[in-house]
């Protein structure tokens, strides 16, 4: 875990949201293709209660290829929404995880990815 930032310690607040950045060695899943490893990272990052919404999508942000997955977690009376973007940087899978109690609050978090800059090394 490189980053764990949340808007409020009370995760039941209607406007609660959280951002995580996690890494995992790419070599640990060496038998998988890059996109398979990125998709697996998304599932692992979503946790055991994360239910996939749709299929993973390949997208490009800041010139880098990512796999985007969406998940939901029902915690009555709440429905948590998550979008997870994973890419490979050098030898690491890097996942950007955005979670919120309101689906419309994910979009501003996602917009932050447009500011990424990756070195050529």
pLDDT tens track for 32-49: 999 999 999 999 999 999
pLDDT for the residue 15: 83
Find out whether 87 and 97 touch, Cβ atoms under 8 Å. no
* Strand 17-25 versus strand 3-6 pairing type: antiparallel
Please, which pLDDT band fits residue 6 given cuts at 50, 70 and 90? confident
Find out whether 54 and 67 touch, Cβ atoms under 8 Å. no
Neighbours of 20 (CB within 10 A): 18
Q: Mean pLDDT over residues 112-117, rounded?
A: 83
pLDDT for the residue 5: 80
pLDDT for the residue 120: 63
Give the class (CATH, top level) of 18-114: alpha beta
* Strand 78-89 versus strand 92-100 pairing type: antiparallel
Residue 10 has pLDDT above 70, yes or no: yes
Residue with tokens 């050098």: 90
Query: What spatial distance separates the first Cα and last Cα of the chain, rounded to whole Å?
Result: 22
Find out whether 93 and 33 touch, Cβ atoms under 8 Å. no
Please, which pLDDT band fits residue 76 given cuts at 50, 70 and 90? confident
pLDDT for the residue 3: 79
Task: With 0.75 as the threshold, say if the pTM is over it.
Answer: yes
d(CA 82, CA 114) in angstroms, rounded, equals 18
């Amino acid at each position: 875990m490189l980053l764990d930032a949340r808007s409020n310690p009370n995760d039941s607040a209607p406007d609660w949201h959280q951002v995580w950045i996690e890494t995992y060695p790419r070599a640990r899943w060496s038998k998988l293709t890059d996109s398979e490893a990125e998709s697996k990272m998304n599932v692992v990052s979503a946790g055991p209660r994360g239910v996939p919404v749709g299929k993973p999508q390949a997208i490009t942000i800041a010139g880098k290829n990512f796999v985007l997955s969406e998940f939901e977690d029902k915690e009555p009376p709440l429905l948590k929404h998550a979008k997870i973007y994973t890419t490979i940087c050098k030898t690491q899978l890097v996942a950007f995880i955005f979670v919120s109690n309101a689906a419309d609050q994910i979009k501003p978090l996602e917009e932050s990815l447009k500011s990424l800059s990756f070195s050529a090394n």
